[in-house]
Amino acid sequence: MNLVWHRADLRLHDNPALAAALRSGPALGLVVLDPNILSNTSARRRAWFCRNVAALREAYARCGGTLLVRSGLPWEVLPRVVAELGLRRVFAVRNSTPYARFRDRKVEEALPGRVAWFHGQYVQEPGEILKPDGGPYTVFTPYFRRWWAALEGEPLEVPARFPPAALPPEYDPGSLPEESSDVPLPPAGEEAALGALEAFLSDRLPLYHQTRDRLDGSGGSRLSYYFTLGVLSPRLAVRRALRVGGEGARKWVSELAWRDFSGELLHNFPHMARSAFDPRWDGLPWQDDPELFGAWLEGRTGIPVVDAAMRELRATGFLSNRARMVVAQFAVKLALLPWQKCERAFRDLLLDGDNASNLQGWQWAGGLGVDAAPYFRVFNLAAQAQTHDPGGDWLRRWVPESEGRLEPYGRPVLDLEAARRRYLEAAARIARGGPRG
Ligand SMILES: Cc1cc2nc3c(=O)[nH]c(=O)nc-3n(C[C@H](O)[C@H](O)[C@H](O)COP(=O)(O)OP(=O)(O)OC[C@H]3O[C@@H](n4cnc5c(N)ncnc54)[C@H](O)[C@@H]3O)c2cc1C
**Residue that terminates a domain, selected from 99, 120, 141:** 120
CA 142 vs. chain centroid, Å, equals 22
* Each residue's pLDDT expressed in tens, for the chain with a length of 437 residues: 999 999 999 999 999 999 999 999 999 999 999 999 999 999 999 999 999 999 999 999 999 999 999 999 999 999 999 999 999 999 999 998 999 999 999 999 999 999 999 999 999 999 999 999 999 999 999 999 999 999 998 889 888 999 988 899 999 999 999 999 999 999 999 999 999 999 999 999 999 999 999 999 999 999 999 999 999 999 999 999 999 999 999 999 999 999 999 999 999 999 999 999 999 999 999 999 999 999 999 999 999 999 999 999 999 999 999 999 999 999 999 999 999 999 999 999 999 999 999 999 999 999 999 988 889 999 999 999 999 999 999 999 999 999 889 999 999 999 999 999 999 999 999 999 854 43
For the beta carbon of residue 376, count every other beta carbon within 10 angstroms.
11
Residues 287 and 385 reside in one and the same domain = yes
**Residue that terminates a domain, selected from 70, 95, 120:** 120
Number of structural domains (the chain) is: 3
What is the rounded CA–CA span in Å between residue 420 and residue 330? 10
What is the rounded CA–CA span in Å between residue 319 and residue 312? 7
Residues 236 and 300 reside in one and the same domain = no
> Is the CB of 228 within 6 Å of ligand 1?
yes
| Contacts for 246 with CB less than 8 Å, ≥ 6 apart | 205, 206
Burial 317-328 (b: 16+ CB within 10 A, else e): bbbbbbbbbbbb
CA distances from 23 to 111, 154, 308, 309, 354 (A): 21, 17, 50, 47, 31
Candidate of 255, 272, 354 to mutate for ligand 1, largest count of ligand atoms within 8 Å of Cβ: 255
**Which CATH number is 319's domain given?**
1.10.579.10
Residues 127 and 263 reside in one and the same domain = yes
Range(s) of the domain holding residue 385:
273-432
State the distance from the centre of ligand 1 to the C-alpha of 208, rounded, in angstroms.
14
> Is the CB of 223 within 6 Å of ligand 1?
yes
- Pairing assessment for the beta strands 2-6 and 90-93 based on DSSP bridges: parallel
**Residue that terminates a domain, selected from 236, 268, 300:** 268
Residues 326 and 204 reside in one and the same domain = no
Would 81 be classed as within a structural domain?
yes
Residues 314 and 216 reside in one and the same domain = no
Upper half-sphere CA count for residue 180 (Cβ side, 13 Å): 1
Residues 406 and 277 reside in one and the same domain = yes
With 0-12 / 13-18 / 19 or more C-beta atoms within 10 angstroms meaning exposed / middle / buried, residue 208 is buried
**Sign of the dihedral defined by the CA atoms of residues 39, 45, 50, 56, in that order:** negative
Candidate of 352, 362, 377 to mutate for ligand 1, largest count of ligand atoms within 8 Å of Cβ: 352
How does pLDDT run across 276-303, given as a tens digit for each residue? 999 999 999 999 999 999 999 999 999 9
